[in-house]
Amino acid sequence: MTLQSLCLYRYQIPLDKLLPVGIQRIDTREGLVLHASTAEMQAEVEIAPLSGVDIDGNPILGFSRESLEQVIDELELLLPKLEGVPLDALLDAAETTKLPSLAFGLSLLHAKLNGQLPVCRNNPGLVPLIYRNQDEDKAALQNRIDALSLDTHTVKVKVGQTSLEDEVQLIHHILAVRPALKIRLDANRAFTLTQAIDFCACLPLDAIDYIEEPCQNPSENPDLFEAVGIHYALDETLHDPNYQFVMQAGLRALVLKPMLVGHLSRLQSLIDTAIDAGVKTIISSSLEASLGIAALQAIAAECTPNEMPGLDTLGAFSCDLLLSSGKQRCLMLDELNLIKSVG
């Protein structure tokens, strides 16, 4: 198959409520849509590095190392070279680029055009994400917890965001309402080792599946496990392009954000290596719009079929992108900002 045409678009979607990016908050999501066609089919992918600035104008830290502008600059140079060449040129470009979000997008586009990533027809379910919205009172948060579906068996709770007392109380309230729930905690490296020990010592550990990135210094995560017995997961650690899997005491899961991990082959390699070591692999979002979330659902169904992905972030979006998730409005290509077109 040969690439016949490629178009690059930019989107900007306001959020109905703030979304947490670590301890920061964002009120808008920006990204790109890359559309490509061959004689046989066409496909679109979302490329959206998790970077930019937060609501206070501060740079987002700890996630994508590349900016959206860097991705645009590289694609503007790349697209003319892809017109009229074999489809596998997408993989060559994905292996060459040093920008993880672009490597992911190009390798995903190749998979879609090759029919290697079928549309996910079955909803894999969601692990509800629980965090306290800005200026939200405790009663409103508790009402959301009380309204959790009976089909929900696992929830993810952001911690390291407010006071230790409030967050411990929140976890105990969740379990008072639904005692059988398993809880995944996400700390985004918020704690020193001492703080993490103090926090985890107050928790009912048999209800905690794991805590993501508990310590500011990740090398201290095994020390937390030794001190308290709580298992942990790696997330931000995996964003280092030089990361190589090494089994550690207490490691229970890798939380994989494909937009930050990069090429699909690297994602699959991490999944295979972790599973061989008895470590769970969880596909998670980088706050993509509906087009990107649909791709992550398909990747999760294909690569981690036994694990429920962490994709409960679309609720904050004011509209969908190309693929409807049920919102009143869905942006289509002709409503986006066309940056470059070839073919």
What is the rounded distance in angstroms from the CA atom of residue 101 to the CA atom of residue 33? Answer: 12
What is the rounded distance in angstroms from the CA atom of residue 183 to the CA atom of residue 178? Answer: 11
User: What pLDDT score was predicted for residue 134?
Assistant: 65
Q: Is 158 a catalytic residue?
A: yes
Indicate the pLDDT class of residue 139, thresholds 50, 70 and 90: confident
User: What pLDDT score was predicted for residue 184?
Assistant: 96
Higher-pLDDT residue of 150 and 180 is 180
Indicate the pLDDT class of residue 89, thresholds 50, 70 and 90: very high
Model confidence at 263: pLDDT above 90: yes
Mean pLDDT, rounded, for 72-100: 97
Contact 207, 183 (CB under 8 A): yes
Indicate the pLDDT class of residue 124, thresholds 50, 70 and 90: low
User: What pLDDT score was predicted for residue 148?
Assistant: 84
Model confidence at 122: pLDDT above 80: no
Q: Is 257 a catalytic residue?
A: yes
Mean pLDDT, rounded, for 313-319: 94
Model pTM above 0.85:
yes
Model confidence at 256: pLDDT above 90: yes
Contact 309, 300 (CB under 8 A): yes
Average pLDDT, the chain: 93
Model confidence at 145: pLDDT above 80: yes
- How is residue 60 annotated by DSSP? P
Model confidence at 123: pLDDT above 70: no
* Crossing angle of the two packed helices 221-228 and 193-200, in degrees rounded to 10: 30
Domains and CATH numbers, the chain: 5-119+321-342 (3.30.390.10), 129-316 (3.20.20.120)
Least confident interval from 136-145, 189-198, 258-267: 136-145
List the catalytic residue out of 17, 81, 156, 158: 158
Model confidence at 215: pLDDT above 60: yes
Model confidence at 278: pLDDT above 90: yes
- HSE (side-chain half, CA atoms, 13 Å) at 99: 20
What is the rounded distance in angstroms from the CA atom of residue 317 to the CA atom of residue 16? Answer: 6
251 burial (CB, 10 Å; 0-12 / 13-18 / 19+) is buried
List the catalytic residue out of 81, 112, 182, 257: 257
Going from the C-alpha of 11 to that of each of 52, 178, 291, 340, the distances in angstroms are: 14, 39, 12, 13
Give percent of the chain above pLDDT 70: 97
What is the rounded distance in angstroms from the CA atom of residue 293 to the CA atom of residue 105? Answer: 13
> Per residue in 168-214, pLDDT tens?
999 998 999 899 999 999 999 999 999 999 999 999 999 999 999 99
Tokens of 49: 């590095």
